Amino acid sequence: MPSANPAAMDFLLSRRSRPAKTLRPPVPSATQLAPLLQAAARTPDHGKLEPWRFMVIEKPAMGRLADIAEACSRALGLEQEQIAKGRSQFDQGHLAVAVIEVQKRSEKIPALEQTYSAGAVCLALLNAALAAGWGANWLSGWPSHDRIFMQDALGLEPHERIAGLIHIGTETTAPPERPRPDVDSITTWVSR
């Protein structure tokens, strides 16, 4: 039996995101970000395909991404509210890590398992950032699902996509606790 790690359990039982719009500088430096990325890359990955990579989006790039989100939304004929939503996470962001799902050809490993692994990387990075004392939030937003945005903003290839945008910064206000699921009601024990 592995030895217990009560600090890790306490963290996992109390962890919660900090809304991206409440995050401020300072943001992690490259040195501070390195162990967070290391922790995120230590994620279950069937077949060791590494079906993911990271792009660190720094403040000077945020305006360009916001402009591309707006151009995409105009091309799609979206309403003003959606245009503003598409821009806002980049206009307001100070540092975000885009977790990029990179689908690898495999006879053995289904594409869906690679997608699950990329999602797990997002949570691992979020948790590592929170555990290190940063405020962090996993966002998507419609641009992260838009092929033209992925291509024009981040240069993604057709076999790549944004799994999540993990905003990391300094917490200003702690959010109220979010209602959590009643675990008993979503758990079934299969005994025979």
Ligand X SMILES: Cc1cc2nc3c(=O)[nH]c(=O)nc-3n(C[C@H](O)[C@H](O)[C@H](O)COP(=O)(O)O)c2cc1C
Give contact residues for ligand X (rule: CB under 6 A).
Answer: 16-17, 137-141, 164, 178
Minimum CB distance to ligand X smaller for 103 or for 108 = 103
- Residue 184 is encoded by which pair of tokens? 């008993």
Nearer to ligand X, 60 or 179 (CB): 179
Quote the least distance from Cβ 16 to ligand X, whole Å: 4
Nearer to ligand X, 17 or 117 (CB): 17
| Least distance from ligand X to the Cβ atom of residue 73, Å | 15
Closest to 128 measured CA to CA, from 77, 54, 22: 54
Considering the complex, what minimum distance in angstroms separates the CB of residue 156 from ligand X? 17
Q: Are 8 and 22 in contact (CB under 8 A)?
A: no
**CB of 33 or CB of 122, closer to ligand X:** 122
- As measured in angstroms, the least distance from the Cβ of 190 to ligand X is 27
In the bound state with ligand X, the residue whose beta carbon lies nearer, of 33 and 166, is: 166
Q: Which residues pair with 169 in a beta bridge?
A: 135
Given the complex with ligand X, which of 28 and 93 has the nearer CB atom? 93
Cβ 50 to ligand X, closest distance in Å?
20
> What tokens were used for 116?
């699950």
Rounded-to-integer distance, Cα 182 and Cα 108, Å: 36
Nearest-angstrom CA–CA distance, 144 and 138:
12
**Beta-strand relationship, 95-102 and 52-58:** antiparallel
- Determine the residue type at 179: P
**Residue found by looking up tokens 């079906």 in the block:** 51
Cβ 31 to ligand X, closest distance in Å?
Answer: 25
- Tell me how far apart the alpha carbons of residues 184 and 106 are, in angstroms, rounded to a whole number: 37
Q: How buried is 22 (Cβ within 10 angstroms: 0-12 exposed, 13-18 middle, 19+ buried)?
A: middle
